[in-house]
Amino acid sequence: MDSEEKNTQDRAEAEEQYEKKKKEKAPEKSRPAHTHHGHRERMRNRFLKSGLDAFESHEILELLLFYALPRVNTNPIGHELIREFHSLSGVLDADIQDLKQIKGISENAAVFLKLIPQVARQYQLDRLRERRTLDTDTKIREYVQAKLGFHTEERLLLLCLGEYLQLLDCVEIAVGTENNVSFDIRQIVECAVRRHSTRIILAHNHPYGNAEFSDMDLFTTNSLKDALGGVHIQLLDHLVVGKQGDVISMRQLLDWE
């Protein structure tokens, strides 16, 4: 090997060693930040600042699931829940076993979601306990909305009132199907008498329908009104709570005295 070739080889080896040492000394490039870095904190701060009014349904679910799934990206789960059950109320009303079919929803997460409407209902009832005298239309409507607004089947309630419109008891007379509930007039009269009622209010819900009375509702309620008159108990009203929480009054509809 002549002198020129040897010099060329030496230079190549030297350059190779230089590049190797350069790579060894160079600091490792930091990994790019995760696209969701800080996302949970931003969501919480947004809620604390403005409440839920500006949140989409899937975002509300995403935020709720932060607390049931602390190490999981809950954004796609929120989207999938809405796709499957169509609405926030549809998700919260869904059966636990159906919720668990959604990828990422554990049993704890499913139970957590089912707690939400029940806690909301108890919260509303708890606020009303200080106002147990149902002496205005507003109080009565708020009370029956809180009692019936979260059920997925029709239910019939009997509100037993005293002389000064104090609530003596609220009795669930019957549980029906998604679109029907029936009641026995004699059962209601006996129940009202046993609780020493002087006045009563009847209420039922239409979980998937509008707040309106059927012909059978009108006929049966008038028959009940007559039967109660025989034992000196006044039927003050019959209310229906619709799927949107709207309430209709038979007393106002028929202009009862």
Largest interatomic CA distance in the chain: 130
Higher pLDDT, 183 or 137: 137
Higher pLDDT, 60 or 123: 60
| SS3 category, 54 | coil
One-letter amino acid at 72 equals V
Copy the structure tokens of residue 52. 């839920």
Q: Are 134 and 201 in contact (CB under 8 A)?
A: yes
pLDDT for 138-186, tens place per residue? 999 999 998 888 888 899 999 999 998 999 999 999 988 877 788 889 9
pLDDT for 242-252, tens place per residue? 988 889 999 99
Distance CA 125, CA 176 (A): 23
145: closest CA among 114, 116, 123, 161?
123
Query: pLDDT at position 151, please?
Result: 86
DSSP 184: -
Does 8 score more than 80 pLDDT?
no
Which of the residue ranges 111-115, 133-137, 211-215 has the most confident prediction, judged by mean pLDDT? 111-115
Copy the structure tokens of residue 215. 């012909």
Out of 37-41, 71-75, 80-84, 239-243, pick the least confident: 37-41
128: closest CA among 149, 146, 148, 151?
146
Does 85 score more than 70 pLDDT?
yes
Does 5 score more than 80 pLDDT?
no
Query: pLDDT at position 6, please?
Result: 56
Average pLDDT on 76-94 reads: 93
160: closest CA among 180, 132, 136, 185?
132
Higher pLDDT, 38 or 220: 220
Query: pLDDT at position 124, please?
Result: 78
Q: Are 222 and 213 in contact (CB under 8 A)?
A: no
Query: pLDDT at position 128, please?
Result: 67
Question: What is the model's pTM?
Answer: 0.58
Average pLDDT on 58-78 reads: 92
pLDDT for 194-233, tens place per residue? 999 999 999 999 988 888 888 988 999 999 999 999 999 9
Average pLDDT on 83-102 reads: 93
Structural domains of the chain ordered from first start: 39-123 (1.10.150), 133-254 (3.40.140.10)
**CB 40: neighbour CB atoms within 10 A?**
15
Rounding to the nearest 10 degrees, give the CA dihedral for residues 32, 35, 41, 42.
120
